[in-house]
Structure 1
């Protein structure tokens, strides 16, 4: 199969890498930022049957304390992404980078990225500083994305609380999926997903622990009066409306859980390259292709068809 659509694929442009390194931030992988070029991306995609990769800048994002510098770096990353799409329109898509937590800058960049650069959606990190994406301070961003009926790729950050605990293991192993879990739980119980129903959220790494915690969250209204405005059914309904990617989350235990909390058409293929090496890309592909809990239609949907519902322009392109 060579028509797969990968919704979790990261560029590592030099400007982003330099800025993150200068701020003392970056990947939690021991080897540091991986090697990346467009040409290397295409080689990997061809080896693994990926027709189109929709790119997104990963954590720590582009804001390192200076709003103006963050706006400039976000624009640079988005223009680079648009250039990839123009050069290889069938091979690359892109989620826009925004200079959060600079809300005004983010609003401007979203409009530029969607209207001028024609990117496919927007990448938001689950948290910015101490605050999660459902925080009231970020409401204008969610409002704009809702008005635009945007596809939003939600990727974890390395939350400050995770940096402070005495935890010897690298952040990507447990803390990244926990960041997504916290953010999505807050989006649901705060009512943000209900208020902004036109946003189509894709959750990285199968939503972290959210699918596993779904039933626990559904009984929260029976436990604590602070959740009285919800019902178990309404909470499960909101969890089922997310899309979930398979990046570092492709085995049958994960897929079986996803099958219980959402419909098969809400599962998307994601590789997490180049932060995950090709061995993991292959393992992810094999796990989905050989799944014992997804039928043939669901497997085909995961690899391509489900993404076409979010990115219909790709249906008219061939690799």
Structure 2
């Protein structure tokens, strides 16, 4: 039964405590409240600079658990692994971030622990990614205490982080004790973008948020993960379980170019234990790519990684089926809602259709990407 579940691992929540904080602010990130002409409360979320239309309309679907469950029911989703959305705690001073992280982790545990149990499996419908207070001037002890807290909360199976680390990125050696603790606890680290790339790259034309979201977000993930690889984090922590948003951004497409550049650069040519392409097989990718060809290509890149391990004797074409084992379905709910309330969400329909249409995946592979891989990765057994 568990191998046939539909599990959404990329789905967000703004818990009431977090939403209240955003309402109390007047600069990004914040929730702006006003009254519409017909006297109704109009709340708008602004988490990026220059939000179109004065911000994103927000309501109970952002924080109400029943709304999340109704969305899941409408789309046949059995289980969701929910996470606080960007920008997390990045905008807070260290002392406030530390306190709020622990409070929000307890809130998320409650959100999940009180959720229903599936009728045909001993599995809750909601699990979660905790928060780390990764902000400048935070103490290592505070970070380690929070990792320990998350590891002891039974319905939190990982943690979500951005790309800034404690101010110098995820390749900062100051994070090594944190990676050590996360690896030892067996937690999954969901790496998610927020900052994109320099806005000057998008030019002067008004294209809404298409360029920052479609390109800036995945480019940010690509750069952050490449820096992790180059710094040797995956060599020092070989059991670290990293899950990348948006199917790893552009990293699968650029991984061979990356490997060639490393080989030709004396600064880094001898730094890593393996060819750079090997490390993509150590990663997990969400399947939020919207097209079967993109999913198939990412699957191939994962599948071929074994041949790039130093001393490997693997030859022949990559077995696409093997790569599917590190890919997991996601929706990015509650972002990108349909224009009509009766419609199903394109982020669900298109990503499921893409999984079903990947050439070379067996039905077992598709079932794995839809949910079986998540059941195994997050140990969803109660």
Measure the CA separation in 1 of the matches of 2:97 and 2:324.
Answer: 38
* Residue 166 (structure 1) shift: 5.2
Q: 1:158 to 1:103 in 2, by over 3 A?
A: farther
- Distance change (3 Å), C-alpha of 1:46 and 1:95: same
Instruction: Give the secondary-structure state (helix, strand or coil) at the position aligned to 1:153.
Output: strand
TM-score, normalised via structure 1 length: 0.89
Cα-to-partner distance string for 1:161-186 (whole Å, 9 max, x where unaligned):
53565545523221111111011001
Aligned runs of 1:1-319 on 2, under 5 Å? 3-20=5-22, 22=25, 23-25=27-29, 26-28=46-48, 30=52, 31-32=55-56, 34-35=58-59, 36=62, 37-88=64-115, 90-101=124-135, 102-104=138-140, 105-116=142-153, 118-128=155-165, 131-159=168-196, 162-163=198-199, 165=201, 167=203, 169=207, 170=209, 171-229=212-270, 234-247=275-288, 249-262=289-302, 263-277=323-337, 278-312=345-379, 314=380, 316=381
Q: For 2:219, what is the secondary structure of its paired residue?
A: helix
TM-aligned CA distance change 1:18 to 1:176, over 3 Å: farther
CA offsets, 1:198-233, max 9 Å, x none? 211111100111111111112123321122125795
Compared with structure 1, are the counterparts of its residues 300 and 33 closer, same or farther at alpha carbon in structure 2 (3 Å cutoff)? Answer: same
Deviation track 1:281-304 (CA, whole Å, cap 9, x = no partner) reads 222222222333533221111001
User: For the residues of structure 2 that align with 1:243 and 1:307, how far apart are their CA atoms?
Assistant: 10
Bigger mean CA offset, 193-202 vs 16-25: 16-25
The alignment partner of 1:259 has SS state of helix
Q: Is the CA contact (8 Å cut-off) linking 1:3 and 1:49 kept in structure 2?
A: no
Alpha-carbon distance change, 300 to 117 in structure 1, aligned in 2, over 3 angstroms: closer
Measured in 2, the distance between the counterparts of 1:224 and 1:288 equals 38
| Structure-2 change in CA distance of 1:261 and 1:250 (3 Å) | same
Q: Could you say if the C-alpha distance between residues 163 and 69 of structure 1 is closer, same or farther in structure 2, counting changes exceeding 3 Å?
A: farther
Q: 1:158 to 1:106 in 2, by over 3 A?
A: same
Is the 8 Å Cα contact of residues 20 and 62 (structure 1) preserved in structure 2?
Answer: no
Structure 1: which 5+ residue stretches go unaligned?
A: none
Q: How many pairs are equivalent?
A: 313
Q: 1:243 to 1:68 in 2, by over 3 A?
A: same
Q: Is the 8 A contact 1:218 1:231 kept in 2?
A: no
Partners of 1:48 and 1:283 lie apart in 2 by: 12
CA distance in structure 2 between the aligned counterparts of 1:41 and 1:239, rounded to whole angstroms: 32
Change (3 A) 1:67 1:164: farther
Structure ID, larger Rg: 2
Instruction: Name the Cα RMSD after superposition.
Output: 2.4
Verify the 8 A CA contact 1:103 1:138 in the aligned structure 2: no
Measure how far apart 1:258 and its partner are: 1.1
Structure 2: stretches of 5+ with no match in the other structure: 30-45, 118-123, 303-322, 338-344
- Cα 1:307–1:103, aligned 2, differ >3 Å: closer, same or farther? farther
CA distance in 2, matches of 1:19, 1:100: 18
C-alpha deviation, 1:309, in angstroms: 2.0
